[in-house]
Amino acid sequence: MKEYAFSGRMERLGGEGAFEVLRRARALEAQGKKIIHLQIGEPDFDTPLNIREKAIQALKDGHTHYTPSTGIPELRRTVARYISRTRKIEVAPENVVINPGGRPIIFHALLACVDHGDEVLYPNPGYPGYHSIISFAGGVPIPIPLLEEKDFRFDVDDLERKITPKTRMIILNSPGNPTGGILTYEDLEKIAWLAKKHDLLVFSDEIYSRIIYEGEHHSIASFEGMPERTILLDGFSKTYAMTGWRLGYGVMPKEIAERIIKLTLNSLSCVATFVQMAGIEALEGPQDAVESMIEEFRKRRNFIVDGLNKIPGISCRKPHGAFYVLPNVKKLGMKTKELEVYLMEEAGVACLAGAAFGQYGEGYMRLSYANSMENLTKALSQIEEAVKKLPALQGTACK
């Protein structure tokens, strides 16, 4: 077989554990084993009917041609109005870039703003793409530990100690994946002060901004002096159950937007017109389905947290947003990658090792509760039966 020579940068680009676990789960299902899927971060609801009907009508009306790489003007105006209202800042359409999902915004923003040797502070455990893309861009990933004792927020004083003359950007994700943790208003206020003091950019991943169970969402872009140094990511996948539609956006200073548009043009060309028109309907249409989905997630969150805390060897904090729990499994006596395999094969439950989200995720497992109450009930029962068989729990009845 021919051996190919690949560029060195490909060695710096990682994968994502959720899709690898999905592949293994499908292989077991093909052999007849039943698997409950708690590994994928995807709402189990249908895209609201009004959004689907808007896309169908757009197709019937012939909206199937190229669009500007920026996104269609109507959607950019809609996003600008939405962000202006929800973040209480002035946003113009020129500050908005439409991409096929949120991932390209992360990819393009880091490629546009991070140069070789630049340091980027990012949350850990966190979305695996942060570390991967920082490295791919030639930057140096500097992890900021998310602490269980702080409800999976990081210590802002620790963040400050890690800032050096080479620091270029801070990445925030609130509510967070995989933790469900939320940065407080006071946290964001201090981070904004640090960003201005050290002249740093902030990439604020707010894809879960609508899925919050207590209080309200706060964006660092809302603080004085921050719109001109913040790249804000949001989108439609999580809030409107539109993961397969591939529609997201970034809001940023015009100078950065122009560079990201250039990257979009050279890599993705544009987002499908009818998908963008569905996005307009999502933001401007009725929000009843979103509110119902969040209320159902709230019930599931409470149920799965209570259930996990009853299982010997497992403890779980209640997340404040998103649709993940990150239980502490250190007492089970296994590395999380081993536990991931064990729970799939022994319990028939697919979940993700915390180590897949960075070194500070070791000792934790991520479970998505974007699944039915019936399946969550079965999963908890099957996990409990499986962990009771582990050597670390033999002969013990306490947590």
| Residue 385's CATH number | 3.90.1150.10
Type of residue found at 304: I
Q: Is residue 232 part of a domain?
A: yes
Task: Identify the residue whose tokens are 């249908």.
Answer: 46
Q: Is the pLDDT of residue 397 over 60?
A: no
Which CATH number does the domain housing residue 242 bear? 3.40.640.10
Q: Which among 284, 299, 320 is the end of a domain?
A: 284
77 and 110: one domain?
yes
167 and 244: one domain?
yes
pLDDT tier, 188 (very low <50, low <70, confident <90, very high otherwise)? very high
The beta strands (E) that lie in 21-155 are given as 36-37, 96-99, 119-124, 140-145
70 and 192: one domain?
yes
Q: Is residue 270 part of a domain?
A: yes
Q: Outline where 88-232 has alpha helix (H).
A: 103-113, 128-136, 156-162, 185-197
333 and 196: one domain?
no
Closest residue by Cα to residue 386 from 319, 338, 354: 338
Q: What is the mean pLDDT of residues 7-12?
A: 83
195 and 333: one domain?
no
24 and 77: one domain?
no
User: Which of 4-13, 98-107, 174-183 bottoms out in mean pLDDT, i.e. has the lowest?
Assistant: 4-13
Q: Is residue 58 part of a domain?
A: no
Per-residue model confidence (pLDDT) at position 399 = 44
199 and 318: one domain?
no
Q: Which among 284, 308, 335 is the end of a domain?
A: 284
Q: Is residue 302 part of a domain?
A: yes
Per-residue model confidence (pLDDT) at position 309 = 98
Q: What is the mean pLDDT of residues 187-196?
A: 98
pLDDT tier, 282 (very low <50, low <70, confident <90, very high otherwise)? very high
160 and 223: one domain?
yes
Per-residue model confidence (pLDDT) at position 21 = 83
Q: Is residue 54 part of a domain?
A: no
pLDDT tier, 395 (very low <50, low <70, confident <90, very high otherwise)? low
Q: What is the mean pLDDT of residues 150-156?
A: 95
Q: Is the pLDDT of residue 396 over 60?
A: no
**Whole-prediction pTM value?**
0.94
239 and 310: one domain?
no
Per-residue model confidence (pLDDT) at position 227 = 98
Q: What is the mean pLDDT of residues 158-180?
A: 97
φ, ψ at 46 (rounded to 5°): -75, 150
292 and 277: one domain?
no
Q: Is residue 167 part of a domain?
A: yes
pLDDT by residue (tens digit) across 99-152?
Answer: 999 999 999 999 999 999 999 999 999 999 999 999 999 999 999 999 999 999
233 and 313: one domain?
no
242 and 330: one domain?
no
Q: Is residue 2 part of a domain?
A: no
Whole-angstrom distance, CA of residue 17 vs CA of residue 22: 8
- Evaluated on CA atoms 376, 369, 131, 12, the torsion sign reads positive
Count of domains for the chain: 2
Q: Is residue 395 part of a domain?
A: no
Q: Outline where the chain has alpha helix (H).
A: 17-30, 49-60, 73-87, 103-113, 128-136, 156-162, 185-197, 254-267, 273-284, 288-309, 336-342, 373-387
Lookup: tokens for 4: 């190919």
Q: How far is CA 235 from CA 203, 207, 248, 272, 279, in A?
A: 15, 6, 4, 15, 9
Q: How far is CA 127 from CA 175, 219, 221, 329, in A?
A: 12, 18, 21, 20
Per-residue model confidence (pLDDT) at position 393 = 76
Q: Is the pLDDT of residue 2 over 70?
A: no
Q: Which among 284, 312, 344 is the end of a domain?
A: 284
pLDDT by residue (tens digit) across 58-108?
Answer: 999 999 999 999 999 999 999 999 999 999 999 999 999 999 999 999 999
Per-residue model confidence (pLDDT) at position 243 = 95
Q: What is the mean pLDDT of residues 229-257?
A: 98
Angle at which helix 49-60 crosses helix 273-284, to 10 degrees, equals: 140
Q: What is the mean pLDDT of residues 376-388?
A: 97
Whole-angstrom distance, CA of residue 55 vs CA of residue 288: 19
Per-residue model confidence (pLDDT) at position 343 = 96
pLDDT tier, 23 (very low <50, low <70, confident <90, very high otherwise)? confident
Parent domain of 105: 63-284
